[in-house]
Amino acid sequence: MNKPLDSLSAWKFGVATVVVTAALGYFGNGLAPVWWLTWLAPLPSLVLAPYVNRRTAFLVSFAGWCLGGFTWWAYLHRQLELPIGIFILFAVVSATVFGLGVLLARTFLLRRSLWLSALALPAVWVTYEYFNSVASPHSTFGNLAYTQMNFLPIVQVASLAGVWGIEFLLFLLPSSVAALLTYYPRDKRWGSFAISIALVFASIIVLGSYRAYSPTPAAHTVTVGLLASDTRENVGAPAGEKGLQTLHSYADQVRAMASQGAQTIVLPEKIATVSNSDLPQIDQLFRSVATTNRVNILVGIDHGEASDYLNEARLYHSDSQTVTVYIKHHLIPGFESRDRPGTEFSVLSTGPFVQGLAICKDMDFPQISRHYGRSDVALLLVPAWDFNSDRWLHGRMAVMRGVEEGFTIARSAKQGLLTISDYRGRILAETRSDAAPFSSLVVSIPVRQTRTVYSRFGDWFAWMAVALLAALLVSAAMQRKELAKANSAA
């Protein structure tokens, strides 16, 4: 390790580190992330930390990460109307956690503990994100693991450890590189450490690539149709006569898709607001279309009852008059304040494979999907409604749930994407909801249920990260105590 930087050099390198970290964080995160930049974002702060004092190391790390977090500004504040104070709190808390993680890594770097320095920041970050997901009404939204959805070999880690395993790796690599750069070639353990880290990541990439790209025969094949419209008259949740007209327009499109061979058709969330008095008419319409055309139809409505509203997905079966109803569990704060959340799950096991129902934001919550994974669901049907700008991110968050739990997902979102993905996160078919007045897909897809490690054991890796952080803090405290005793004796 070289000597600490003098004040002028520390200032110059500190400013450069802030700028580079902010740029990497800005473009490596957000609604359209460049996945490989995410791996680099923590590196400048980690490299600089052992050459400057604690205060400078923290401030540089904090400033760079905080500025990079403004990649979310337009979406959270302008589009979702999040108060500026809440947004700043979100950015400051995240940056503070990152800065503290860098300080912990610095502590071990200065004590020549290569492995502990490499593990420190990943443990801090995963612990923070896990408890944040438990407390937040948005669960895992914004988790850095979603930045990797175009890098399928790494995405496969979710089948073992959920998003927590991916996040851990995102910080482990730059932390390890920083340790190697700090002590190259002065530490005799440098070579063995470098080889160990290389083997870890090589194994993950090789095994992940095999899982992501190797052919697997399907247990079943089903023809699924997705349908959505972003035209002015259809894009909201119209009520009354306009709402009924919108639902009839969708029913006409369903008939055409059924003639193309669709066996199950998924319509978006909240196509229309339907009162109790109008509901029998809508049920009769879609029951008739379903049984006449021998097609299952999943319809999303905002069901207005006497005292409140229910965000419902109503499944009309091709072979009966039964209507299976699923009520959205997780509602968007503010936007869905009038709706009452549901608590029940819908697991359909009457066909050759098990199917489940969920709605839009429910897919931000791994616990919802875990219930379906443990119920051996092979195909999850998801009506959704996005916000245009988040069409890729929010759609890919749902895709991640399929990797975690081992099932295929058919998601139909207005102002978003129509997406069918398999249990490895591969996109089998996709189109934009605004590609036509009524955008549609009709695709025969392979369906199989694969029980994953994550499905069986849940957030085991997150708790391992919590335990690791506790052990690292104890180790740091003990080392500090021993150092104080040595200085006192001297």
> Residue 337 in 3-state DSSP?
coil
What are the pLDDT digits (tens) for 48-61? 999 999 999 999 99
CA-nearest of 408, 326, 323, 401 to 359 is: 326
Q: Give the mean model confidence (pLDDT) for residues 401-418.
A: 97
Say which DSSP state 363 is in. G
What is the spatial order of strands in the sheet that 417-421 belongs to? 346-348, 354-357, 377-385, 408-414, 417-421, 427-432
Q: In whole angstroms, what is the distance from residue 91 CA to residue 73 CA?
A: 10
Average pLDDT over residues 9-38: 95
Confidence band, pLDDT 50/70/90 cuts, at residue 1: low
pLDDT band at 385 (very low <50, low <70, confident <90, very high): very high
Smallest Cα–Cα separation from 312: which of 324, 298, 325, 329?
325
Encode pLDDT of 258-295 as tens digits.
999 999 999 999 999 999 999 999 999 999 999 999 99
Domain coordinates of the chain in residue numbers?
Answer: 7-214+459-489, 220-455
pLDDT score, position 347: 96
* 54: Cα within 13 Å, side-chain hemisphere: 8
**Strand pairing category for 439-447 and 408-414:** unpaired
The residues near 19 (Cβ < 8 Å, ≥ 6 apart) are 64
In angstroms, rounded to a whole number, what is the distance separating the alpha carbons of residues 71 and 144? Answer: 13
Distance between CA atoms of residues 453 and 406, nearest Å: 10
Q: Is the pLDDT of residue 490 over 60?
A: no
- For residues 156 and 424, the answer to whether their CB atoms sit within 8 Å is yes
Strands (E), 188-343: 220-228, 264-266, 273-275, 296-304, 309-316, 323-327
pLDDT at 396 over 60: yes
Nearest to 299 by CA among 223, 338, 378, 243: 243
E-assigned strand segments in 284-407: 296-304, 309-316, 323-327, 346-348, 354-357, 377-385
Task: Please determine, for residue 187, whether its predicted confidence score (pLDDT) is greater than 80.
Answer: no
Give the integer Cα–Cα distance in Å for 280 and 5.
75
pLDDT at 35: 98
User: Residue 60: what pLDDT?
Assistant: 97
Helix/strand number for the chain, H first, E second:
16, 13
| Alpha-carbon distances of 456 from 161, 204, 451, rounded to whole Å | 11, 21, 7
Q: pLDDT band at residue 186, thresholds of 50, 70 and 90?
A: low
Does 3.60.110.10 match the CATH number of domain 220-455? yes
Which of the four pLDDT bands, split at 50, 70 and 90, describes residue 386? very high
CA 62 to chain centre: 24
How much is the pLDDT for 448?
Answer: 87
The span from the CA of 105 to the CA of 269, in Å, is 45
What's the chain's average pLDDT? Answer: 94
